[in-house]
Structure 1
Amino acid sequence: MRYRFSKPSNKVIPLNRNQIQQLSILSLLAIFVSMTFLILSQDKKLEYNPNDYIVLRKFERNLEVSGHTQGLHFLNSTHLIESCGSYENSEIHYINLDLLTTIFQRVSLDDIYQGQGVDVIDGQIYQLTWRERIIFLRDQETLEVLENRRLKIEVNESLGISHSYDKDDTLEIYITNGTDKVLILDSEFLLKQVIQVQFNNGSSVGRLSEIEFVNGILYASTNLNPIILAINLTDGYVQLSFQQIQEKLL
């Protein structure tokens, strides 16, 4: 691996699990940078209050960073982890939301990897790769790779990653693979369950991408479509859907 470090001036203080869950839903909205959102319901049968979901902040991307955002995760209230790029130029770094365009602690991936989804599990950063089935476990402060793990399932690609703990406090890892399914893995990355996600009318949701699990609901973006889904993993149905409509900035 090749590493390029730029040490931040202040130490990053991680939050606990509950605090991160409250912040992580914002990372889905951050994917649609440089957009003003008008939130609409896609299905009239779905009940929601548009005032429940508003854009809290918009920031402009640093021009030095690749435009392909693959994964986002809040480390704390001021620092966002971003996994981005494509083959030969993928990297992972922190964004300081108080300075908006400031990125630091940049680490490049080897040319053979394309970085994808990112999550923090039990104090370590988990970064997916697209088609290589490799997961990098990284240190939260330096982003240095501590361990390489391999997905023990046959997938053509891996996009989003999130997690939760069941009633027995057992870790469950959620991964999307570019289909309308959510894969539930155990701590050893062995497949436990496959959830088929669909709308109430039975239609497909398309290619699920970035995901965040918050308060019992899995929020997901879809690849190439500006939509966010709120998914009940118990039955696989979409509870709410929010269509983002790009408007010209005033």
Structure 2
Amino acid sequence: MIVRGVLGTLGIAGFLVVAEVAGRAGVLPDVLPYMSDVLVAAAGLPLEAQFRADVLATLVACLSGLAIAIAVAVPAGLVFGTVPFLERSARPLVEFLRPIPSVALIPLAMFLFPASEDAKTALIVYTCSWPLLINTMYGLSDVDPLAKDTLRSFGFGPLAVVLRVSLPSAAPFIATGVRIAVSVTLIVAVSVELLAPGGGGIGAFLSLAGNANRIDRMLAATVWAGVIGLAANLLFTAGERRLFRWHLTRTGETA
């Protein structure tokens, strides 16, 4: 794990050095600022109240949309995963809707939800629901049938079997769905903020910086968006490994 982190850090540092050298050598377009200027601008952004407010607006939208998606998609996945008839009926619709890019639905979301914040939350819920739903259904298909039959033999009903056996067994898969959903929430939120008028967020900050021809500030905000996304992924990955170490051991993965 430490070696992987060191190699990742070296890779990022190498990319930054190459980008700086390429800019100084005139390989990159003149409109692009030097990487050192971008990093200086990125270091100063957290000191600006407006940027902090925009980051907070994006994070609030991501967390609220993710929470709603979990509350909707996980129970739906439990129902579809335990009732084969419903699963077979819903599968074609799920496979049809799931590949539709959320960005393509921004105009529709803006029409249905005039407030940009509502449109942003709705698209986050839509996008996050699919990995949560699919992973929950897949996790239920991996449950040991013998464990369920044993519980039924002791007189437990369908709900008790789901809560005592199916849900705990599927929990690692659901956690993976949450981690995948987290990785796309920021993308969807920033995309809506860029295209939807009004409201705040990192996307709105990027749009204003671009309109002012401040490419250095625009790229600096992009750097922070990447840092936030990386930090969220590392946090959820660490939590997933800690909570479900038994599952990683069973599947032969290393913690």
Normalising by structure 2, report the TM-score: 0.21
Counting strand residues as a fraction of each chain, which structure ranks higher? 1
Max radius of gyration: which structure?
A: 2
